[in-house]
């Protein structure tokens, strides 16, 4: 069944192949049906063999070192202990000593890791930044330059070419800004600080493996303060597992454009990317809609039965699990999220980030953005106000699972339940106006 504007209709599962700008290539059913679900057969077009040649290499998996000490008296104390544990785990002594010998304690990295913004950003702040005129203009130019290569990656991995390009743009401004922090020092500082010691030590061991494998050089170790490397900002352990030799030179270098783009496609594919699905579809919501279903995952057929209509003509599998998301509440855009939206979040576990990538991808491909405007008159809460909100919700019986000053899924769901019991539309959108009675004294 065909998903048409104002009338969602549904198809049985079918593999859809996308072109270089990810429009489904599919022969439409000859008799679209409205109302009762009718089974229609569709034909699919198999992808052509991809032009990208991937060189297979043996992955050196980092072995975990022994348990670290409970605390360290100094940075040198941590380095000495980690060095012994790394060598005991089988890592080359000279490489371990060379890497640690070049590190220094970077207090700015520790500060960046522990600091939080005073105010939570609204979703349109992310969206505006993602699709700024400069970023979109550069993105279209870079996309044109790499069109053939990106099309080959899409054919091979099934990941929309413009989404690969959008992540490239979001992570490094299309290769222009890959970071200026010395990665070994950044990771060593995070390990010594202790808040994310296990994570940071794992990345250092993976970095040693990458140096031994010859994928990266000792002279090319600048990246983000959190350990991100290259043009699509992989952390070392993920690159060790997901890195691809896209340019066929025998190495997997995250600072190589082709390697970075191919590895991004490979990573998203391995994370569950579904060929032919956009990350989201903008929809309309009926006036009588039950907002308690917002944030839940249900088959597309179920959303259709509740009156959710796509704005554009699209095709969806009746059984595809989708989630209705109102990023700015009932007065903003309504989005039906596909599984691919969650896949994008393997890069950054933020719905706003995934939305930014999705919107940038659409802009790069020359597609229109969101149709419904944002309620820009709404104001965010401060971190202190969020903490107050979380404590008061929990005290009132709406458990937020902690009071950390960050609006996450648990806080939104708790607030949504409170809204339903207190005469508000339960859309889960937390603002100065919607949460005033819980944040004022």
**Rounded Cα distance, 311 and 412, in Å:** 26
Whole-number pLDDT of residue 14: 34
- What is the H or E stretch that residue 268 is in? helix 257-270
Among 270, 222, 257, which Cα is nearest to 142's?
257
Nearest to 427 by CA among 329, 347, 280: 329
Angle at 350 between CA 400 and CA 408, to 5 degrees: 10
Q: Which two tokens stand for residue 67?
A: 């348990």
Indicate the length of the chain as a whole number: 441
Q: With a cut of 70, which residues of the chain have pLDDT below it?
A: 1-64, 66, 116-119
Whole-prediction pTM value? 0.84
Over residues 75-118, the pLDDT tens digits come to 999 999 999 999 999 999 999 999 999 999 999 999 988 775 56
pLDDT of residue 440: 87
Residues 298-323 pLDDT 10s: 999 999 999 999 999 888 899 999 99
Residue 5's CB is within 10 A of a number of other CB atoms, namely 12
Distances (CA, A) of 349 to 28, 259, 298: 36, 23, 21
The confidence score (pLDDT) of residue 63 equals: 60
> What are 224's two structure tokens?
């983000």
User: What is the C-alpha R_g of the chain?
Assistant: 24
**pLDDT tens, 32-48?**
222 333 333 333 333 44
Both structure tokens of 411: 């806080």
| Ordered structural domains, the chain, with CATH | 1-45+132-174+272-378 (1.10.530.10), 75-116+178-270 (1.10.8.350), 383-439 (no CATH)
């Amino acid at each position: 069944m065909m998903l048409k504007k104002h009338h969602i209709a549904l198809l049985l599962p079918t593999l859809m192949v996308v072109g270089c700008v990810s429009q489904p290539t599919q022969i439409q059913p000859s008799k679209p049906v409205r109302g009762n679900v009718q089974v229609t057969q569709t034909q699919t077009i198999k992808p052509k063999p991809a032009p990208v040649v991937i060189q297979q290499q043996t992955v050196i998996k980092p072995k975990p070192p022994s348990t670290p000490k409970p605390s360290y008296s100094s940075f040198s104390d941590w380095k000495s202990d980690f060095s012994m544990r790394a060598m005991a785990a089988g890592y080359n002594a000279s490489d371990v000593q060379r890497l640690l010998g070049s590190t220094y304690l970077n207090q700015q990295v520790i500060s960046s890791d522990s600091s939080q913004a005073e105010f939570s950003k609204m979703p349109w702040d992310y969206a505006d930044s993602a699709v700024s005129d400069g970023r979109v203009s550069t993105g279209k130019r870079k996309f044109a330059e790499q069109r053939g290569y990106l099309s080959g990656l899409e054919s091979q991995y099934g990941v929309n070419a413009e989404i690969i390009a959008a992540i490239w743009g979001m992570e490094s401004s299309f290769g222009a800004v890959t970071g200026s922090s010395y990665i070994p020092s950044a990771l060593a500082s995070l390990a010594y600080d202790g808040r994310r010691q296990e994570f940071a030590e794992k990345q250092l061991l993976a970095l040693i493996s990458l140096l031994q494998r010859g994928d990266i050089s000792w002279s090319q170790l600048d990246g983000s303060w959190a350990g991100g490397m290259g043009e699509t900002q992989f952390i070392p352990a993920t690159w060790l597992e997901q890195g691809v030799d896209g340019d066929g030179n025998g190495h997997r270098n995250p600072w190589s454009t082709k390697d970075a783009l191919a590895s991004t496609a490979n990573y998203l594919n391995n994370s569950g990317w579904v060929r032919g699905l956009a990350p989201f579809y903008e929809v309309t919501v009926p006036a009588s809609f039950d907002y308690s279903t917002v944030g839940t995952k249900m088959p597309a057929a179920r959303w259709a039965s509740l009156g959710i209509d796509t704005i554009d003509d699209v095709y969806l599998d009746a059984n595809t699990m989708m989630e209705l998301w109102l990023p700015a509440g009932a007065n903003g855009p309504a989005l039906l999220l596909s599984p691919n939206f969650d896949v994008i979040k393997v890069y950054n576990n933020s719905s706003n980030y995934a939305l930014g990538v999705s919107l940038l991808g659409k802009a790069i491909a020359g597609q229109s953005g969101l149709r419904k405007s944002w309620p820009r008159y709404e104001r965010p809460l401060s971190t202190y106000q969020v903490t107050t909100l979380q404590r008061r919700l929990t005290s009132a019986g709406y458990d937020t699972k902690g009071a950390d000053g960050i609006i996450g899924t648990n806080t939104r769901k708790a607030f949504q339940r409170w809204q339903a019991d207190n005469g508000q539309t339960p859309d889960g959108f937390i603002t100065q106006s919607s949460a005033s009675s819980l944040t004022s004294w």
